[in-house]
Structure 1
């Protein structure tokens, strides 16, 4: 039986690699809508952040999240992210 490779992604806050399933994904679609993608299946340019509030704060302060998806991120996306992270901490 072949061992499956676990997809790894880099957190935009701490810049460490984690298994894709452990991270939150933020995606920008063709209509420039920015959403929190909890299932990891939405089409568009995505970026990942680990489920730690200090990583989110770092990413917001340094504007790394906005730079990585090449768009300004609306406050409601940040609020949804904070809510999701607070559920997992």
Structure 2
């Protein structure tokens, strides 16, 4: 077992194979594809542009309302009135 301490003083414990200590380790791509900061892939951009706009207000079940609306940020007829 090995212990590491980060800059905040938090401790983590690791189970290591002693036969691998001191050997180079390949941790994979240092910047995975899902971390890309450039423009969206055209396929994903088109999917986001064609997705219908939804109300998104919390329902009584606590989930986002899935009713379609005409413009971003608009409320559906069920959520237009403020209930007190």
The two structures have a TM-score, normalised by structure 1, of 0.21
Instruction: Give the number of the structure whose residues are more often helix, by fraction.
Output: 1
The two structures have a TM-score, normalised by structure 2, of 0.21
Instruction: Give the number of the structure whose residues are more often strand, by fraction.
Output: 1
- Larger RCO, structure (CA 8 Å, separation 6 or more): 1
